[in-house]
Amino acid sequence: MSNENLKKIESIFNEHQKTIQKLTLLIPQISEIAGLIKKTLHSGGKVLIFGNGGSASDSQHIAAEIVGRFVKERKGLPAIALTTDTSIITAVANDYGYEHIFSRQIEALCLKHDVVIGISTSGNSKNVIKGLEKANTLGAMTIGLTGGDGGLIKKIATHAIVVDSNETARIQEAHILIGHTICELIDEGQ
């Protein structure tokens, strides 16, 4: 392996560590949000999660950990990733526009005692914003996972966790750590 590759890998790892270290400032906020999600699940509510691209994968990953289990053996809990039904996504995108693929599903599935999590590294994805806005109108608790300055999502979500980075890859790495942390805290409450 070339010395240039080794330096690049070291640089990536260093940036990752810096981003993750900054998350320690968000520990109280993450703890509060995990508690609110646990309360929702205990009272019969569900978690609805969505995002685009890598954030779509993250939403599916987090939903799978909630429904299945994370570490501790427990009963399944209700969570749905709104990124998985290609028939709904393509029909809504075709009939209403891509910016409505999540808001239409929220309109159909979300109840006021649910938690809705929108993931967008920029905080400005139109379809994620519209999904969170629809959830707000229904009275659900909304959580935005973003990066950079938080974008518009920081202003519209009930709670916004903003990763202090402008690099998409580092933000996504932090989002999955935050998701795993929340899932572990949910497990502990079961």
Annotated binding residues for Zn(2+): 61, 65, 172, 180
**Residues in the annotated binding site:** 52-54, 61, 65, 94-95, 120-122, 125, 172, 180
Block residue for tokens 């969505």: 50
User: What is the 3 state secondary structure string of the chain?
Assistant: CCHHHHHHHHHHHHHHHHHHHHHHHHHHHHHHHHHHHHHHHHCCCCEEEEECCHHHHHHHHHHHHHHCCCCCCCCCCCEEECCCCHHHHHHHHHHCCHHHHHHHHHHHHCCCCCEEEEECCCCCCHHHHHHHHHHHHHCCEEEEEEECCCHHHHHHCCEEEEECCCCHHHHHHHHHHHHHHHHHHHHHCC
Block residue for tokens 């899932």: 183
Please, what is the angle between helix 101-109 and helix 86-95, to 10°?
120
**Residues in the annotated binding site for substrate:** 52-54, 65, 94-95, 120-122, 125, 172
